[in-house]
Amino acid sequence: MVNILILSIYWNPPKEIVSWPLPFLGRPLLWYGFFFALGFFLAYRIFQLLLVERGHDKKEAKQVAEKASLFIGIAMIAGARLFEMLFYQRPSVYLEDPLELLRFWEGGLSSHGAVIGILVGLWLLQRKWKERFSWRNLLDLLVIPGLVAGSCIRIGNFFNQEIFGTVSTLPWAVLFGTPADGSAPLPRHPVQLYEALFYLFLAALLWKKRLFLETAGKLSGLFFICCFSFRFCIEFLKTNQSALIPFGFPLDMGQLLSLPLILLGLLLIKKSKGTVSVERN
């Protein structure tokens, strides 16, 4: 154990950027909240740039991005919180206190639920904009911004000392000083950083390929296949996070929830054949 501790990286930063309560919020500014907000802002700006690239003028792109960000942001948080409660917590948690479903600021957001929320939000939004965008057009525009936001959120998880990897003897294993779940401090795979780096890599790859994937749905199809195939694999290096998965079950909740999204990617690729991408003005 001594050798493991020597080789590991000790990580125990304060969770607050500033320790005093912020005006109106009554809470200190946390690193997780900072990275969450940063990811959302960067996603908004990239979404704007992509709209301009597709032929929309800057004023129109700004208006579309603002409306979409608000609508999709609400749907994303709602989906993330609902999936966290339904697939990761015991039913007694929210049956005894139904308001627990609404307390997303206290932690507990499912990334798979966030994706489902975004898909539903996009479907509702597209019904309003059906003369301008198809559902797959909008989805193609969101996958790169979404990956950048996801990377920032995983860095926030790292600062928050949550979502743990399995115990590791690798030299870059991280010893979290104050684990969020109260578990014993042990050297672990920094799976939060693995995910953050992969999301940035995939965002860069899709950015490079975006102009060559002109059929609607193809970009988002590649996103779902690559992103959630990676999620399926990286879960083998994570500790079980769901209270609903029995001990000894071969797959965890993250893997089970990734499978339908991989299938969605394959379906999008199949449906993209013969379709046109966003029309340029």
Q: What is the pLDDT of residues 236-245, one digit of tens each?
A: 999 988 888 8
pLDDT value of residue 248: 80
Q: Is the alpha carbon torsion for 197, 200, 205, 208 positive or negative?
A: negative
pLDDT band at 188 (very low <50, low <70, confident <90, very high): very high
Its pTM surpasses 0.85 = yes
Q: Which amino acid is at 153?
A: I
Q: What is the pLDDT of residues 31-61, one digit of tens each?
A: 998 999 999 999 999 999 999 998 888 998 9
Report the share of the chain in percent with pLDDT over 70: 91
